[in-house]
Amino acid sequence: MNLHNKFKLNTPTLFRMLVATTILVLIANYTIIKFQAREQIAYIKQILRHSESVSTQIHESLNRVVEANINNCNDSNINRLREILLDYQDVIDVGITHKGKVICTAGWGLFDKSRGYVKEEYSTSDGYIFDGSDNNFHNKKIHVDATIYKTAIAFTSPFAFKKIKEMYPQFDVVISTHKGRHDFLILPGTHHGGAGFAVNNAVHAKICSKTFDLCVLTRNGMVGFLSLDPLHQALVVLICLLLGVFLSWFAYFYLNSRKSFEYRLKKAVQDEQLYLEYQPVVRMNDEKIVGVETLIRWQDKLYGKVSPELFIDVAEKIGVYGQISEFVIKRLTEELSHYLTRNSSFTVSINIGGYEIEHCNYINYLYEQCIQYRIKPSQIKIEITERSTLPHDVIADFSRRARAKGFCVSIDDFGTGTANLIWLTEIDFDEIKIDKFYVKGLQEEYKRNILTCISGLVIGIGAQIVFEGVEDIVELNYLKGHNENAYAQGWFFYKSMNIDELCQKLNAASHD
């Protein structure tokens, strides 16, 4: 089946692609915002360092004016103010005050009586006062921040933050005191989205100085996917669309692979979701249960009850048959040990294939499990199907090793293979199970004759006979007439059953 047939662009598929693409765009938007937020933190730290540098210049210039003990505005003192000013590039002017009024500065010289008033907006605990007026004694078009200490006043240059603003023009910037009582600087960004910092879809960042009473707040009013230029927006959408198609394709095939027979079988084996059923074997002369045959079963939610002939072949192909083989031994010894240890003549049969015959440790593992659960090896019958394609010498060697450990060996499906006499002469066995093909053909004379010959031959070599597939009283009576000591199994007696049903049958039979 080709890709076109498997992955069709129908409505559900297109919907999954659209959802995947949308989610990826949202993830991309979130990633871009996170990146921009980190960029904003780096930017705000840079502003803070520069603000601290400006504050240092302001404080130093004020202290020098105070230390110079300049009390009046003669030409000599104004020149001394100018000398101090030259050392600080981020201070635009320094001067002296008297009774709430600037009386002279380095840049403007003497002030007349109608100008130079200052307004105390906020003062710090160490004596610094910040002027919140518009400083009408400077250029009215440019806001100039003033700081007063004792009789000295210093004005921050309006160009102190010009370079940083040029580097990140999209950010709104506010530099203020810790509690926001005085704003030193307000710079709106190119994406200014509203008054102050009230816009909720923006990214905000704030950091405060440990040295000075100042904090830097930034706001990026255009963040995420929409902050990109059209070309980059198109590129992000294209990448997300391609990833969305890939993820939809991957999800489709992943979900379908989880529905595959092979995947579900492998998962069932790993999770031990397989289980055992047991079909009783009865003695025909008194119809009492003398043993059971172990049958592996798998009930899947999607595929229902799957035939062992199907899933065993698949298990061999996908490499999980060995786990099934080990599971069968482990589970049957756990479930039947309590009955086998109390009934030494009761037997349980295990069907094996080429894997068990060729696996050198299989017999040893089975023997160890019997010892662990105190089961006699003679109570275990290993059934080797005559349909096996392995060389006879390999099968014969396996049979000898199994019997040497005390296990019984049974030839299953006898009469369906191609070299029956070779099996009888070269392989050591304890039991032969006659295939139901001959039991079902009793109405045909030639099949009855073959069945009679096989039965007589097996009796002659002293092996136990088990007739498979007995389903009505006619078949039972005919078989009894030829060999009443034989065993039989089939739906006429019992169908396969789980361990709970089997225990009920065995308990009921023990009270008869």
- Cα–Cα distance, 380 to 390 (Å, whole number): 22
**CATH for the stretch 261-507:** 3.20.20.450
- Tell me: pLDDT of 256 over 80: no
pLDDT digits (tens, 9 = 90+) for 204-248: 888 999 888 889 888 887 778 877 888 988 898 888 888 888 877
Least confident range from 175-179, 192-196, 326-330, 427-431: namely 192-196
Decide if 225 contacts 196 (C-beta within 8 A). Answer: no
Three-state DSSP state, 221: coil
**231 phi, psi to nearest 5 deg:** -65, -45
pLDDT at position 485, please?
85
Cα distances from 512 to residues 284, 340, 352, 503, 507, in angstroms, run: 17, 19, 34, 14, 9
The answer to whether 469 touches 490, Cβ cutoff 8 Å, is yes
Name the residue ranges covered by the structural domains of the chain. 3-224, 261-507
Of the candidates 106, 132, 103, 97, the one whose C-alpha atom is nearest the C-alpha of residue 115 is: 103
- pLDDT, position 36: 82
Res 50 pLDDT > 50: yes
Q: Which two tokens stand for residue 141?
A: 């078009």
- For residue 275, pLDDT over 50 is answered with yes
Give the mean pLDDT of 136-153: 72
When pLDDT is cut at 50, 70 and 90, the band that residue 40 belongs to is confident
DSSP reduced 3-state for 386: coil
pLDDT digits (tens, 9 = 90+) for 497-508: 999 999 999 888
25 contacts 32 by C-beta, under 8 angstroms: no
The whole-model pTM stands at: 0.57
User: In the predicted model, is pLDDT for residue 143 greater than 80?
Assistant: no
Closest of 293, 271, 291 to residue 282, by C-alpha: 291
Secondary structure of residue 8 in the 3-state scheme: coil
How many other C-beta atoms lie within 10 A of the C-beta of residue 336?
24
At position 174, the amino acid (one-letter code) is V
Residue 1 has pLDDT above 50, yes or no: no
- Please determine, for residue 413, whether its predicted confidence score (pLDDT) is greater than 50: yes
pLDDT tens digits, one per residue of 3-26: 344 555 567 777 878 888 888 888
The dihedral over CA atoms of 260, 265, 266, 269, expressed in degrees to the nearest 10, equals 160
Helix, strand, coil percent content, the chain, rounded in steps of 5: 45, 20, 30
